[in-house]
Chain A
């Protein structure tokens, strides 16, 4: 099939160093003395341990339960005894510890009861659920739980499914060997993904330095009777980056702020497809993976390795030279030196490289940037690394963001070509982590501010509520007094009542009616007064008055006068605050 390929800008051609480790077929690594299985091996929620020290486990038995939707289960890689569930150092540059299940193998490597499934008979939701429970995650390095990528978008039709067999990093050959030896299972795994996502096209991208793998995949595609296109892409690091491979195969550029599915593309690694097939068709959860063991060793080779195998035990199989002084996990472009040689192989471990100064000479001292622009020409995301470097160095992080530092995928192309030997990627990681830290600090400060403002608001509201209550009480008192005064005034009114021409009916009736009308009036007035008092109280809350802080006698005298004046209808009633409460 002839296909028009696209190009991505930039990229570099480091020596591939792949031939060393492809000479021998995949070997099964022997059972190690112990397995240290970290629970957190994928992006997302940290699985909860469901075993404890002393438990007997079988190979494939659940030991860590997925926590939330984006999380994947973890299983015992072999049968044996759980000796500990404890913190252990992780294969991560930070050298931090994380919770691990330590298993002592019993040597029998006895499986759980494996249930092959017919996924055609299952609902898509069941398939996704099964993949999550089988611990299937992206084995290209990102370890994103695969089931989370297998729901087709409702808004954007799925155009292309890109299968990543590019394997662009030097030294790494595990995907190459997988495709050479187990192509049919890879193709069947891709079939599962295809059936769930229903893309119009399936494009399998393999760098053209792996002709054997491409041939094997083509044969398998034909044998299985699929219509997947196996496409050899030019060998150019980082052609195996998801966004770069999507660009090469489809011409689409996925911006940093978007997902490929927004553009109708989804991407999976070949090894992920393989594990998905094993999980569905054989009922085998992910308990092992292929790892290239190479570098400064006598026998570079690919091994099928149980997750949790200590790296030093694995490296020994390839017989490292005595001057080996470290282990790189991953490739030489994006990998890292593990903080401790005993750290375990995890699902993200695709390659171990024995490090020495001959293969990786110590770097020359860093020189000033001469703005030659080689980094900008090498950047596959078309950034201006030297500008980002100036501003990272100056800690002008706002400017680094203006130059799109978060589009950087840390592929290392810029550092690779820099004649001044500036560790550019390190500067960018520094800037990113500083920006994140500041963001967190800002969020914390914002939260504190919100809390403080809410507290102020609450206090003000409480104060206002209290003032209102007081005002109501005062108004009620005033109303009572007004009613009493009205009752008192009703007596002379009775005398004049008979003189009123309009007045009719018996006088006793009148005498009883007048106070009733007055009481009604007084009640109405009291309501109005209360409302006015509330308004006044609110004003008073803001403005201090010279009538504040009076003694209780003054207060009483004032309220008596006030009551009399009200009674004489000289003024509107003033809500006198009860003296007892005023002095508090």
Chain B
């Protein structure tokens, strides 16, 4: 007997969706690689292998069809997001630990594909930054030019971790400077440091963010994401940072700086839009995106961590089921009653 109607199906699949998400990450990855060197590509490879291995082991243990789930691409998306949010010269075992934790605990122990209440990559980031705060805060200093071999030696632990590796992200540097200076530095003076800062945000980082924005817009064009989450995320981040910037431009950086720094663009288009752990109703998505944007700003400016995207998204993941429940759209013919 055949499967029932509809007999015609659109040519779509989970792996197609995941592959397109990976494709959309490529512009950002390219900009990132030109900024920090080939190390990021090595980290992407390490994370991918670790994710697939962890996925295979878990599928075997849970007696799920190996081929079907291993090729769905979801583990690769998780792996790439981990590689792109961890410091690019982090030791290999940190990336592997984070990835394995994401796949085993955050994904499969919650029921596997489609069942995880939290974004696995962000769980990995949060667990790692809490467990290994020093390693997770060491970013290569700007201008540090290491070849592939040197970078590999650092990642694989064959070379000592140089001081030059323990820089901060431009975002973190700004916060630290502003906090330390106690008013004597101001944002404009800091931004004038052209070693660290470019035209809008961190030198080179602004192009990475632009790459993610480009990929995100392509995802929207392909209808794999809707506009709600990214727009609400960017709008709330702009609104809050803009208000404080207008209030005191010497102590608070501009909205553009915040948009193009850290994980804002990656978060807005690739992380907060994760359908499994996010909201699904249109109004729910707006609330989710706006909440994530606000929390990102609050954590990165007033909190103790270099960036706030991971915790902001996890906190919103926590609220997503309730938001969805409260924002159910009215059905056909019932709009005037809702």
Contacts and interface: CB of A to CB of B under 8 A. Distances in A.
A256 B333 contact: yes
Contacts of A256: 331-333
Contacts of B1: 337
Interface in B129-175: none
Interface in B222-243: 224, 226
B330 interface: yes
A417 B12 contact: yes
A426 B4 contact: yes
Contacts of A328: 5, 7
Given A332-B5, A360-B8, A384-B281, A419 B13 contact: yes
A258 B114 CA distance: 36
A335 B112 contact: no
A330 B8 CA distance: 13
Given A363-B3, A382-B332, A419 B16 contact: yes
A336 B7 CA distance: 9
B304 interface: no
A373 B332 contact: no
A382 B14 contact: no
Interface in A243-270: 243, 247, 253-256, 258
Contacts of A360: 2, 7-8
Interface string A393-436: 00000000001100100001001111111010110000000000
A332 B3 CA distance: 12
A367 B68 contact: yes
Interface in A369-401: 369-374, 376-377, 380-384, 386-387
Interface string A43-72: 000000000000000000000000000000
Interface in B180-230: 224, 226
Given A376-B280, A420-B14, A370 B113 contact: yes
Interface in A72-128: 93
Nearest to A337: B2
A412 B10 CA distance: 11
A335 B7 contact: yes
Interface in A538-575: none
B61 interface: no
B17 interface: yes
Contacts of B114: 367-371, 420
Contacts of B226: 373, 377
Interface in B288-338: 328-335
B280 A371 contact: yes
Contacts of A8: 332
B332 A253 contact: yes
Interface in B270-291: 275-276, 280-281
B8 A383 contact: no
A334 B8 CA distance: 10
Contacts of B7: 328, 332-333, 335, 355, 360
A363 B112 CA distance: 22
Contacts of B10: 12, 14, 416-417
A355 B6 CA distance: 13
Interface residues of A, number: 60
Contact of B280 (A255, A384, A407, A419): A384
A553 B19 CA distance: 102
A8 B81 CA distance: 37
A322 interface: no
Contacts of B334: 255
Interface in A306-349: 326, 328, 330, 332-337
B14 A253 contact: no
Given A255-B333, A258-B333, A333 B6 contact: yes
A14 B14 contact: no
A170 interface: yes
A170 B5 CA distance: 13
A7 to B, nearest CB: 12
A15 interface: yes
B17 A419 contact: yes
A433 to B, nearest CB: 13
A492 interface: no
A501 interface: no
Contacts of B333: 243, 253-256, 258, 381, 407
A415 B14 contact: no
Nearest to A170: B8
Contacts of B329: 382, 384
B12 A419 contact: yes
Contacts of B65: 365
Contacts of A387: 280
A138 to B, nearest CB: 20
Interface of B is mostly: loop
Given A256-B333, A382-B330, A420-B14, A365 B6 contact: no
A364 interface: yes
A8 B331 CA distance: 12
Given A367-B113, A381-B332, A382-B332, A415 B281 contact: no
B196 to A, nearest CB: 39
Q: Which of B4, B112, B280 has the most CB of A within 10 A?
A: B4
B113 A368 contact: yes
A505 interface: no
A304 to B, nearest CB: 26
A508 interface: no
B34 interface: no
B6 A332 contact: yes
B332 A367 contact: no
Given A371-B275, A371-B280, A93 B13 contact: no
Contact of A365 (B5, B8, B68): B68
Contacts of B224: 372
Nearest to A413: B6
A362 interface: yes
Given A334-B6, A415-B6, A425-B6, A370 B331 contact: no
Contact of A386 (B6, B112, B280): B280
B176 interface: no
Q: Which of A360, A372, A374, A384 has the most CB of B within 10 A?
A: A372
Nearest to A360: B7
B3 to A, nearest CB: 5
B13 A364 contact: yes
A387 B281 CA distance: 11
Contacts of A383: 331-332
Nearest to B115: A368
Nearest to A365: B68
B4 A93 contact: yes
A416 B335 contact: no
Contacts of A384: 280-281, 328-329
A333 B4 contact: no
Contacts of B328: 384, 403
Given A9-B332, A370-B275, A416-B9, 20 more contacts: A8-B332, A15-B8, A93-B4, A243-B333, A328-B5, A332-B7, A333-B7, A337-B1, A337-B2, A362-B3, A363-B3, A367-B113, A370-B113, A373-B226, A403-B328, A407-B331, A412-B6, A416-B8, A418-B9, A425-B6
Which 8 interchain pairs have the tightest Cβ spacing?
A: A255-B333, A412-B6, A368-B114, A253-B333, A381-B332, A332-B7, A360-B7, A419-B12
25 contacts: A8-B332, A9-B332, A15-B8, A93-B4, A256-B332, A328-B5, A333-B6, A334-B5, A360-B2, A362-B3, A367-B14, A368-B112, A370-B275, A377-B226, A381-B331, A381-B333, A384-B328, A386-B280, A407-B331, A412-B6, A415-B9, A417-B10, A420-B13, A420-B114, A423-B4
